[in-house]
Structure formats: C-alpha cells, structure tokens
Amino acid sequence: MAIPRHLAIIMDGNGRWAENHHLPRVSGHRRGVETVQSIVRSCRELGIGYLTLYAFSSENWGRPEEEVGALMGLLGQFLKSEMETMLTRGIRLRVIGEIRRLPAPIGQVLEEAVARTAENDRMVLTLALSYGARNELVRAARALAARVASGELAADSIDDETFASVLDTAEIPDPDLLIRTSGEMRISNFLLWQLAYTELYFTETLWPDFDDEQLQLALKEYGRRQRRFGLTAAQIHGKDREDPH
C-alpha cells in the first residue's frame, strides 16, 4: 500500500454525529478525540512520518462559549492522556496556528508537551490550533516585510523556499494526502500554501466513525492516484526526468 509521507486531516462531522445520536455536540467532540487517539496510533504503526490534524480553526472561536470551552477542555485532557503514548512511541508533537490566543493553561501544557517530545523521531504529530491559513500567510508576509525593512533581506531574493521558511510549517514537508470527513468538499482555510500539489480525498464518513478501515480505503485511493506535479506522465515515469521535484 502507498504510504504518504505526510497525511493531513480536516476532522469534520462531530456535531452531526452527535445530532444523529440525539446527544449534545460535546459528546460528538468527545468521540472525535477517541478517533484522534486511534488514528494517531494507526498512522504511527503504518510508518506515516507526519500527521497534521485540523483541531481548531481561527473561525471556531466564534462558536458558542460553552462549546469552545469544552473543546479546550478536551484538548487539555488529550494532551495529558497522550503524553505516555507519544513518549513510548517516539511521537513528536508540534503545533501550528495563533497559539497565543489559546487559554494560558492550555498554552502551557502544549508548550511542555512540545518540549518533552522534541527528541522523538518516529512521527511528527502537528495539531493546527487557532489556525487559519490566511492568518498564517499574513503573519509570514509581515515577518518577511520586517526583515526587508531592517535591510537584512533583499525583496528580490524572496522565493518559494524563503516564503515556506517563515510559515508555521517550516521544516514540515508539504502534505501528500489530505482527507476531509463528513462529505464537505472544501479546504476551509487549511494549509492553503502547503496543499498546492496534495491529493485530496473526501469521504461521507463523519469523523467519530472514521476508523482503521476508513483510513485503509483512503490510502488505497491515494495509491491509485498519479501525482504529476504539473509535469507530463512520461516525465513522471522516468523517460525525461527522474525526480518530479
């Protein structure tokens, strides 16, 4: 089976799962966290090098206060309960997004978890928290503008690589496969720069129901895709060029 080096997931449908089961929305999120725990383990076992999860968007701050509070609580619990797993399985935690907007105690737990797992090298688990790609791009543009203004960087020397180096995802390769659950076919402000050549996979399955079997289906479909990176099929098959990059 084709194993992507970097798998990114938009975990959607917790609310609808709860509604379908006549439960409060927070129960859907709780089940969603259980799915996160099992998918993290499966990806690690499969040898996926990078797993990036869209856990809380910049726009999610606009949800009812009670739901935002519940999500923050679940995040705190998740970090505590997963620490052992991350340490024993060699998983390194990273975060992308406007972390300073998170409640201070959560920010602190996150910082500790990132520091404690910094030496792990079997899989990088990146949580996108208070994340929006436009916000990330704006912050990157500001960082570059400040370096140009100070005379440290020439505007003309800015290229793709320079730009990527000031994004939150610097040092993380672009995703090979993006999965979005719950039938929505949108990118919703997730990794807009990084998804340029990513294969997209959409499934009707709601996130709490996304199990190993669903993951296998997505990976099988990924294996059938032909990635061309804007080149011709002949080039990709090694007739004209060996490396599509």
Residue stretches of the annotated binding site: 12-17, 25, 29, 57-59, 61, 63, 180, 186-188, 199
Q: Is 189 helix (H, G, I), strand (E, B) or coil?
A: coil
* Binding stretches for ligand FPP (CB under 6 A): 11-16, 29, 32-33, 36, 53, 55-56, 60, 71, 74-75, 78, 127, 182, 207
Nearest to 106 by CA among 140, 132, 129, 137: 129
Task: Considering the complex, state which of residue 15 and residue 175 has its C-beta at the smaller distance from ligand FPP.
Answer: 15
Question: DSSP readout, 10-64?
Answer: E---HHHHHHHTT--HHHHHHHHHHHHHHHHHHHHHHT-SEEEEEEEEGGGGGS-
243 is catalytic: no
Task: Considering the complex, state which of residue 16 and residue 89 has its C-beta at the smaller distance from ligand FPP.
Answer: 16
Residue 59 CB, nearest distance to ligand FPP (Å)?
Answer: 9
- Cβ neighbors of 136 (< 8 A, separation 6 or more) are 96, 97, 167, 168, 193
Residue 56 CB, nearest distance to ligand FPP (Å)?
Answer: 6
Which stretches of 68-205 are assigned E, i.e. beta strand? 91-96, 123-131, 177-180, 199-202
12 is catalytic: yes
Which stretches of 75-206 are assigned E, i.e. beta strand? 91-96, 123-131, 177-180, 199-202
Separation CA 207–CA 181 (nearest Å): 6
Task: Considering the complex, state which of residue 32 and residue 49 has its C-beta at the smaller distance from ligand FPP.
Answer: 32
Binding-site residue ranges for Mg(2+): 12, 199
Residue 121 CB, nearest distance to ligand FPP (Å)?
Answer: 21
Residue 169 CB, nearest distance to ligand FPP (Å)?
Answer: 17
- 118 — phi, psi (to 5°)? -60, -25
* 124-141: b (≥16 Cβ within 10 Å) or e: bbbbbbbbbbebbeeebe
- Say how many C-beta atoms besides its own lie within 10 A of residue 34's C-beta: 11
Residue 11 CB, nearest distance to ligand FPP (Å)?
Answer: 5
Separation CA 234–CA 204 (nearest Å): 34
Whether the CA torsion 50, 8, 201, 191 is positive or negative: it is negative
List active site positions.
12, 60
